[in-house]
Amino acid sequence: METSRRSIALASGLLLIILLGVWWLDTHHLQPSPLTPTLTGKTEYCLTCHSDLPEISASHPIEAFGCVVCHGGEGLALDAELAHSTIRGGNNPSDLAVVEQSCGGSECHSGDSADSRDHIQRVMTSIQATYAGAITNIRYSFGAQTDLVAQQGIFAISDEHITTTTGVPILSAFDPLAETSTALHQFADNCLSCHISAQPSHDHDDFARLTGCASCHTPDINTYPDGQIHRLTTAIPYTQCNTCHNRGNYDLRSMTFVERTDQPLDRKSDYYQPISQFTKCEWTLDCVDCHTRNESMGDGDIHSNQHDIQYVQCKTCHGTVDELPQTHTIVSEDDLALRMSFLNPVMDLQIGDTIIVTEQGEPLWNTRVLSDGTYEMIGKATGQQFNFSPVKDSLCQQNPTEQTSNYCHECHAEER
Amino acid sequence: MTNYSRRDFIKIITNSLLSASGLLGLGGLLRYLNFSTETPVKTEFDLGLASDYPLGSRTLFPDIPAVLIHDDKGFSALSLVCSHLGCIVQDNNNGFICPCHGSYFDINGDVQRGPARHDLRLLRVENIEDNRLILFIT
């Protein structure tokens, strides 16, 4: 009996020690950090572990969006494995495989084309996503198709609303196993990493980028400490474009990519691979200062090659000997140029300002016509101001029909 | 001095330990039952005396977030939550601008520039018996 009482006392002591241990663990454990975003109204606990991440952009504040609406995951879970079990796209919810769930929605990036909010639809049909230009050219070159109209892309896709003369209605998925040419097999093995669904083929910093929207809008990923990459921006420097472009050349005989070997020390040498001449504006500006979002993100049509969609020329900004560049005066608060400049306010654009527009009416919202008839452009990534004059009434004797850069290079190229 | 037997001593210790364990366990149980994963959302706000808001005043309440308007028609309030994606709009004297995507609303909350397509939400304000104003955000 005495032994039994002693055992009960010992068991009671043990129970108390265990309970005290649980209490201590609970008070010293990471305390849940709830957040109820205004957009969803659903509480999530992601900040319990991720409060150290910087806000991804001013357009996506954590208080309004939270984490789950973009990343997925189990917002109420406090266990990392469970919380991440349903996350979308790993560390990149903008990957094209999941972009519609992550970034889509009529109020977000798959909205109305008339309102210019159909970003995802345009990107999915863009040359950078379909890679139709390279696939078409190589299949044509090696006899797999009889013309240069795109038939296949990285993934199958169709477009029911063709708006341009070069748009094609449908692409099937490129299937290397269905091809008979050895060259096409080599192309599939060596050359399918230059589209925005693919990871870069090379492992060093010059090629470092993510996929999907983040391949362009999350620049300089190699500069983030501890891989804590959390940024979206429309201020895209040329170096980000250069994670795919200007990195070398394809050798069609061996069907391999030959990386550029120069060691550029300045922007002038770094911008392009050392194979050609360029005018000053071609390397002092960033690519996005001239090339519009439709050119880079697509216009909603499926095209057969880059040239079908790339239309900005020297005359877009400089005009010709006969005509000034096309312009547009902002008269409404709802002007697309004002909306775009708000997202990257390098220029204080106002109602009444006149800006340059492309031949297709796209606003170059980082430009402005000045009172003396000259123009200014502000670099979207650098904030640098550039002033320039029209060709008309200048000493330039250009032929207005000659608009390829090589023609202008005859007088305006700089030595490298 | 009371003499305790060895048996009584063990009994007292046992009861003390069990009582402490029971209290700790009960505390844990109550904490578990009272835990709410969803943060409670406050839907009513006491704005104080109506006389504190003179005719013609527009008073911002960033924490609600809302703006209380006192004009010829009486008291009214606008939500400062952008009708586009829920960011909190900022007052710029001539209206409200959304810091996220640039939607612009005039001083009446009517949308002037997208991407928002709807006006700022009108909120209910009640003047209760003791002349206090209550703002409802539901």
Residue B134 one-letter amino acid: I
Query: Which of A9, A61, A76 lies at the smallest CB-CB distance from B17?
Result: A9
Selected residues 59-98 of chain B with any CB under 8 Å from a CB in chain A: 81-82, 84-88
Domain extents for chain B?
1-35, 44-136
Q: Which of B18, B86, B102 sits opposite A342 (nearest CB)?
A: B102
Residues 6+ apart with CB under 8 A from A330: A337, A338, A349, A350, A351, A352, A353, A354, A355
Tell me which DSSP letter residue A225 carries: G
CB contact under 8 A, A22 and B114: no
Contacts of A12 in chain B (CB under 8 A): 13-14, 17-18, 21
Strands A152-153 and A170-173: parallel
Query: How do the pLDDT tens digits run along chain B, 138 residues long?
Result: 667 787 888 888 888 888 888 888 888 888 888 777 676 778 888 888 888 889 888 999 988 899 999 988 888 999 999 999 999 999 988 899 999 999 999 999 999 888 898 999 999 988 887 888 888 887
CB A56 within 8 A of CB A218: no
Cβ of B10 and A5 within 8 Å? yes
Q: Do B14 and A5 touch (CB under 8 A)?
A: yes
Asked if residue A43 has pLDDT above 80, the reply is: yes
Two tokens at B54? 């003179």
Q: What is the tens place of the pLDDT at every residue in B16-44?
A: 888 888 888 888 888 888 777 676 778 88
Delimit the domains of chain A by residue range.
115-261+293-297, 311-406
Q: Inspect the interface and report whether the beta carbons of A16 and B84 lie closer than 8 Å.
A: no
Which chain B residues are closer than 8 Å to A13 by Cβ?
13, 17
pLDDT of the residue at A1 = 59
Rounded to an integer, the average pLDDT of A331-343 is 89
- For residue B26, the chain A residue with the least C-alpha distance is A19
Cβ neighbours, 10 Å, residue A209:
21
d(CA A239, CA A207): 10
Closest residue to A19, CB basis, from B11, B24, B113? B24
pLDDT at residue number B17: 84
What are the DSSP E strand ranges found in chain B?
44-49, 58-61, 66-71, 74-79, 90-91, 95-97, 104-106, 111-113, 122-127, 132-136
Question: What residue of A is the nearest CA neighbor of B20?
Answer: A16
pLDDT of residue A158: 94
Q: What is the ipTM of this complex?
A: 0.77
The CATH number of the structural domain formed by B44-136 is 2.102.10.10
Q: How confident is the model at residue A381 (pLDDT cuts 50, 70, 90)?
A: very high
Residue B125 distance to chain A (closest CA, Å): 21
How many C-beta atoms surround the C-beta of residue A398 within 10 A?
20
A16: nearest CB among B20, B28, B112: B20
When pLDDT is cut at 50, 70 and 90, the band that residue A2 belongs to is: low
B100 touches chain A (CB under 8 A): yes
- Could you say which DSSP state residue A308 is in? G
User: Could you give the CA distance from residue A350 to residue A385 in angstroms, rounded to a whole number?
Assistant: 17
CA proximity to A316, closest of A357, A362, A376, A344: A357
B12 at interface of A, judged by CB pairs closer than 8 A: no
Partner residue opposite A39 with nearest CB, options B38, B85, B99: B85
Distance from B96 to chain A by nearest Cα, in Å?
A: 13
Per-residue pLDDT band at A219 (split at 50, 70, 90): very high
pLDDT digits (tens, 9 = 90+) for A81-124: 999 999 999 989 999 999 999 999 888 999 888 878 899 999 99
Query: Looking at beta carbons, which residues of chain B come within 8 Å of A64?
Result: 82, 85-88, 100
Q: Give which of A1, A2, A5 to mutate to test B binding, by max B Cβ within 10 Å.
A: A5
More confident residue, A378 or A9: A378
What would the two tokens of residue A386 be? Answer: 């550039």
Give A237: exposed, middle or buried? Use CB within 10 Å, 0-12, 13-18, 19+. middle
Q: Facing residues of A152 across strands?
A: A172
pLDDT attached to residue B1: 60
CA distance A25 to A13: 18
- Check CB contact under 8 Å for A23 and B20: no
